[in-house]
């Protein structure tokens, strides 16, 4: 009888430990959510302050000018700022939908290789894209993972264009322990170590800095507008959303140091037994 009691006590202790561990995980997840929301809120506030600041700057410049050409330029730049804000609000609306991924088992090579090549066949600007995915399978939402590939490769093309040379982009995959890894790398200008830890923040951009007080109103307005354009066509949420997609899949997206220059992004997916 006493042995049964001891076994029950041991089972109770085990259950308590498991409940405590589960509670700690829940607290950690809640804390991560709070930090994520804080970063997003701060990013939104900063981005719209820049947009409004640029509109205000161009408005003041136009009001102080007697030139019709200045009026036209001010209105044009204000229009650009408005379009920028529409892109941001649209992306935020899509983000707020928070749709549950429609996951299924996908073989990387069969699902994505040809689709990626076809998507970029007319937009490589002379650069070389090599996609060499393997037969590894992942349990994922096809559309969301494809969105990550598109965003990373677009960034790579932009990086190569900045470098002023014809470069290469390589997409490969491999199994490692209990993960499937996909690597997207280029030999472009790379990412400065000073901003490496910030690139996954919402609305992060390394373009431009705030103008000095001695700058003219229009110069400050131009800098503010430039700061909002973290990429040529997106919302500035690209890498933030990419990382969020991977985390929602139980994986991650990280930036590695590339020994050959350029940038190397690593997508990790957990392996699931069929």
CA distance 174 to 256: 16
Dihedral sign for Cα atoms in the order 168, 226, 52, 79: negative
| Least confident stretch, 19-28, 59-68, 125-134, 194-203 | 19-28
CA distance 253 to 243: 5
Whole-number percent of the chain with pLDDT over 90: 26
Domain borders along the chain are 2-96, 100-205+218-270
Q: Assess whether pLDDT exceeds 70 at residue 94.
A: no
Check residue 54 and give its pLDDT. 82
Check residue 164 and give its pLDDT. 80
Check residue 214 and give its pLDDT. 40
Higher local confidence (pLDDT), 143 or 21: 143
Q: Assess whether pLDDT exceeds 70 at residue 127.
A: yes
**Residue pLDDT, tens place only, 206-263:** 543 333 334 455 555 555 555 445 444 455 678 888 988 898 888 999 998 665 678 8
Q: Contact, 195 vs 51, CB < 8 A?
A: no
Task: Tell me the helix, strand and coil percentages in the chain, rounded to 5.
Answer: 55, 15, 30
- Per CATH, the number for 100-205+218-270 is 3.30.565.10
Using alpha carbons, select from 84, 162, 164, 158 the residue that is nearest to residue 120: 158
Q: The tokens of 114 are what? A: 């040809």
pLDDT band, residue 273 (cuts 50/70/90): low
Higher local confidence (pLDDT), 191 or 223: 191
CA distance 85 to 122: 28
């Amino acid at each position: 009888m006493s042995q049964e009691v001891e076994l029950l006590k041991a089972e109770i202790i085990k259950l308590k430990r498991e409940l405590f561990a589960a509670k700690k995980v829940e607290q950690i997840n809640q804390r991560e959510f709070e930090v994520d929301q804080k970063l997003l809120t701060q990013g939104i506030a900063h981005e719209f302050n820049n947009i409004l600041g640029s509109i205000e700057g161009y408005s003041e410049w136009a009001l102080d000018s007697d030139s019709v050409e200045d009026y036209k330029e001010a209105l044009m730049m204000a229009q650009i700022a408005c379009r920028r804000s529409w892109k941001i609000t649209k992306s935020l609306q899509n983000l707020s939908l928070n749709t549950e991924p429609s996951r299924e088992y996908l073989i990387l090579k069969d699902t994505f290789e040809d689709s990626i090549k076809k998507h970029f066949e007319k937009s490589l600007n002379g650069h070389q894209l090599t996609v060499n995915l393997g037969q590894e399978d992942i349990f994922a939402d096809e559309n969301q993972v494809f969105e990550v590939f598109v965003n990373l490769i677009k960034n790579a093309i932009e990086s190569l264009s900045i470098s002023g040379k014809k470069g290469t982009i390589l997409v490969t995959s491999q199994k490692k322990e209990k993960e499937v890894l996909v690597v997207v790398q280029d030999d472009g200008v790379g990412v400065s170590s000073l901003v490496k830890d910030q690139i996954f923040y919402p609305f992060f951009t390394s373009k431009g800095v705030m103008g000095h007080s001695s700058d003219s109103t229009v110069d400050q307005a131009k800098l503010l507008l430039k700061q909002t354009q973290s990429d040529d066509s997106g919302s500035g949420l690209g890498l933030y959303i990419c990382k969020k997609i991977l985390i929602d899949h139980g994986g991650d997206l990280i930036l590695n140091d590339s020994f050959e220059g350029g940038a190397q992004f690593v997508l990790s997916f957990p392996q699931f037994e069929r």
